[in-house]
Every structure is written in structure tokens, then in C-alpha cells.
Structure 1
Amino acid sequence: MSLARIALRIAAVEAIKGRTLVGDNVLDSPNGALDVQADGSLRSEEEKPFISIYTDSGKVENVASRQLNENGICDIVFEMGISQAMTDLDRETGVTSLVGIGVPASDRAFEFFLDVVQRQMFDALNDPEDPWAEIYRGLQYGIRKIEYAGARNTDDGQKLAGHQVRITLDLIDDPVRGEVLDDEAPFQKFLKQLEASSDPVYRKQGATIRSLITAEEESWQQIQRRQGMTADELLALGLGPVAGDDERATPEFAQGHLELPHRANVVEE
């Protein structure tokens, strides 16, 4: 899994959290929050309406040289679900209604609830004022397609409805180890958000990711890492250490001076 995918997923979670009818119950890669069984039935272990977010697939084509930091196309999946057990019961009237809406719990009300959550989710991801939403958008070059799917189940009298949104997008490349990130770069903003978080898990994740990309390296080493070049290929470009330098510590050539013998101007008749 690439670092940019991690960033994309966490940014989406934080941008959506507290902005929809599911409240803060926005989950990062949970196991089986909305699970379709082999017989086609739908299951969920969640106790409240939820949104779960995954980055479960991607593809890079026509890779330049031997680069391993390209992310290419990435799928980010949003699943949302609600069941009869996740509704509010008015003990005085005996009426069960949907959380946050107040309409009686029914099949069409479940679909209405999920459609509203989906719209709220999209609004949150494109919020121009939210820093996490800004990071989420900055981590991608554009969207290629959006796919929608729905499922519902009534086994054992337990009504359960779920929606899935799969967004296929062009994800930015991972930063190369040793590369100095610009303060305004989306990935740098992501790391700063993690490091400043009150969540100790986020702070630990931020420190781990920072350690993976921080290194004191020469510029030619970064080029070699980014392109996946061999030492001979690097030397053929006139970069890096000279041939025979076993320690690979030869400083990069920065400046030189060449003196040419004076030649008087010759005027041809």
C-alpha cells in the first residue's frame, strides 16, 4: 500500500467525520462493516449507521523506467449502511424512526437516509473551507469515474440497507525518500495534520511515515531512487559519483573553469 493511498483515505475519513447523518461513525478500513455473504445476503456488525472507507485497488500502467513511487489509478470506496436496529424508538408512541431525520423506518426511508448521507458526504469532500477536504482533493489529479451500487436484506426480520460508492481517480506519486517536501504540498500538509493531532494513533502514524521519507541524500541519489536507475545508467548521464569510487561519496560537480589560448581575430579578404 502506498503512502499516498494512506493519506487519501485518512483525509477522506476526517473530512467526512461529523458532517453527515452518521455523525462521527466514519470508519477507516474496518473488517466487514458492510459484508455481502456468499449467498448474496447482507451482514453488518455495526450498531450505528456508518460510513466505511477503503482504498482496496489500484493500477499503474506504462511505468517510466523502473519507478516504484507512481500510484497511477486508485479506487477509493465509500460504503454506508443502516439497519432496523440502528433506528430510534419512541417509547411513548412505539414508532421507530430514522436517526437524524425522524421519519418512520421503512424500506423507502432507508434508501432516503442513505441517499442523503451520500450527498452530505460529497458536499464534505468538496468543502472549500475544510483543511482535510483540501488535502483530500490535493492528493489527486482528477476523477475518472464514479460507480454506485446498493444492496438490502431482510433475513431474520432484520432490515439492512447499504450503498457503495466507488471513485476511480488519478493519485499523486509517493514522495521519494530524501526529497524535501514543499510546505504547501498536499502530502506535507497531511503529515503536519497528523503530527498536530490530539489522537495519539495519528501522531504515531505521522512519525512513522515521516521516518520513511526523511534521509540526508545527494540530489543524484534522489534521481536514482525516483527513476530506479542503475549506477552505470546514472554515470552515463553525468550524475553521481565517478567510476571507481567504491564509497559513492564523490561530491556532485558544481562549477568549473576552462581557459582557452588567445587567438587573434583573423580578417579574411
Structure 2
Amino acid sequence: MSLVRLAHRIATVQALKGRTLAGDRIGDSSILPQDRRNLRPDDPAHIITVYTDDEGRDLRDLTPDQKRNSLWIELEVAATVCNPAVPDEWGLPHTDAGLEITLDLIERQIHAALADEASPWANLWRRLHQGTGERRSVRVAMDQGLRLASRQISIEVEPLKDPPFGAEPTGVWVDFLSLMEGDPDLSDLATLVRAEFIGAGPITDWQTVIRSRLMPLDQSTAMLLDPLPEPEG
């Protein structure tokens, strides 16, 4: 039940591409430590990485979902210590002040990109949640051969409910799949995501409830969620 998280990450990445000083260096998650992500002595990179985590939900609650997800946008700006002759791509000095300015500029550009009404991906991003909660921006710095300035932005969102099992995509999900299918880099993934809607075929409403809450059959029967057996005779 993670299609809405997947959609949030993809929409964030696509909305930010080419809209900040990071250019197209926008990634969907990364398990590498910060000081090893595409940071080469001959290429001082500005990188943005997007994560989602910390979803909360009570599967035993039959009331409408009240989920909240944390969307993380991590900025990384590196300057080499061993190769100071590399020209600064953005016209800012690779000093502590220059790195801090770069972080501030990129953070501002991120906000502008996600708020852009002319961007189909940004519009989709805003439609994937019903509201936002706390927003935090925390700066991190480290020194491991590279002077690396990093900032982590967290946005608490109240996401839409995941689409039901066994049903054709509707509403925002139609637009999400359409945007993915129109992008050569995402079209193959779109095929996989589309298959997750229908699966093996359409299912009944009571099966949707049971599957979405991972109920055992004896529990769903006790709660009168599945059909009663046909009377004999």
C-alpha cells in the first residue's frame, strides 16, 4: 500500500528537474552515504535526493484513513579541498559562505518549483495530498575529504488514500499514469504501476476492505464484511 508514497517521490523529482541549481541531479532515494553520492574531485556537484517515510495508520480502524507521511528533500553541495582550481559552475565561491548561499538559493528554488501552477508535475504533487503539516529545514555539515554542506527539508503531508485493490485508476491516478507514460524514462515503470491497480482482475467491495486491512477471513466473517453463505434448499 505504497503507491501514494511512490507517486509523491516521482512527482517531486520530476517537478524539481531543471528548476534549481542542481539541474538534473535529482534522485529518488539513495542508500549511499552523503559523501559518496556523485561527488568527484573534478565535478563539484549540487544534488537533491527525495525520500518518503514515517507513514502511520491503524489497520483495525474502519473509519476513513488519517495517514501522514514525511517527505524528505535532501540538498547536498560539495566543494573539493584537493582541487581548488576547479571553476565554480554557479559563480559562487566554494567557501563556507558560498556553500551556505547555494543551499539557501536551492531551497528557495525548490519551494518555487513545487508551487509552480504551470508545471504538470507540480500540480500533480499538490493534488496527491489534502494538506501539509510541519515543515522543517535542518542544516548538516561534514568534513571527510570533501567540504560538504547539506540541508534536509522535511514536509509532513496528509496524503490521499491509496487507490483500492482491483479497480481501474481514476482521478489523480489517471493523470499520474498519463504523465509517466509520456516520459521515456518512466514509461516502463508506468506499466508496472498500472498493473498494480487491477492485478489479477476486478474484485468485490468486501474483498477490497479485507485486503486493504490484511484481515483474516474469520475476522472479516465475524464483522459481517463478507457475504453470508447461501441458505440451503
With normalisation by structure 2, the TM-score equals 0.82
What does residue range 71-86 of structure 1 map to in structure 2 within 5 Å?
Answer: 72-85=67-80
Q: Does 1:133 align with 2:122?
A: yes
Tell me: CA distance 1:132–1:81, structure 2 relative to 1, closer, same or farther (3 Å). same
Q: Does 1:211 align with 2:203?
A: no
- Aligned residue for 2:194, secondary structure, equals helix
Q: Does 1:159 align with 2:151?
A: no
Hey, what does 2:89 align to over in structure 1? 99
What does residue range 187-206 of structure 1 map to in structure 2 within 5 Å?
Answer: 187-199=173-185, 202-206=186-190
8 Å CA contact 1:224–1:234 kept in 2: the answer is no
What does residue range 44-193 of structure 1 map to in structure 2 within 5 Å?
Answer: 44-47=36-39, 48-61=45-58, 64-65=61-62, 70=65, 72-85=67-80, 98-100=88-90, 102-156=91-145, 158-182=146-170, 185-193=171-179
Shift of 1:206: 1.4
Shift of 1:56: 2.5
- Aligned residue for 1:15, secondary structure, equals helix
Structure 2 residues not aligned, in runs of 5+: 40-44
Hey, what does 1:32 align to over in structure 2? 32
8 Å CA contact 2:169–2:197 kept in 1: the answer is no
Q: What does the per-residue CA deviation read over 1:186-225, in whole Å, with 9 as the maximum and x for residues that have no partner? A: 22211121122212xx222211121121132345544554
Tell me: CA distance 1:62–1:210, structure 2 relative to 1, closer, same or farther (3 Å). closer
CA RMSD of aligned residues (A): 2.9
Hey, what does 1:259 align to over in structure 2? none
Tell me: CA distance 1:33–1:130, structure 2 relative to 1, closer, same or farther (3 Å). farther
8 Å CA contact 1:143–1:169 kept in 2: the answer is yes
Tell me: CA distance 1:118–1:97, structure 2 relative to 1, closer, same or farther (3 Å). farther
Hey, what does 2:42 align to over in structure 1? none
8 Å CA contact 1:22–1:49 kept in 2: the answer is yes
Greater CA drift, 12-21 or 45-54: 45-54
* Distance in structure 1 (CA, Å) of the matches to 2:197 and 2:63: 19
* Distance in structure 1 (CA, Å) of the matches to 2:66 and 2:187: 24
Instruction: Tell me which structure has the larger Cα radius of gyration.
Output: 1
* Distance in structure 1 (CA, Å) of the matches to 2:152 and 2:131: 20
Shift of 1:33: 5.3
* Distance in structure 2 (CA, Å) of the matches to 1:189 and 1:213: 14
Shift of 1:168: 1.0
* Distance in structure 1 (CA, Å) of the matches to 2:48 and 2:58: 31
Letter in 2 for 1:193: L
- Aligned residue for 1:159, secondary structure, equals strand
* Distance in structure 2 (CA, Å) of the matches to 1:145 and 1:76: 11
Q: What does the per-residue CA deviation read over 1:52-98, in whole Å, with 9 as the maximum and x for residues that have no partner? A: 0011322125852399xx57110110111111139x97xxxx5x554
8 Å CA contact 1:176–1:225 kept in 2: the answer is no
Letter in 1 for 2:150: G
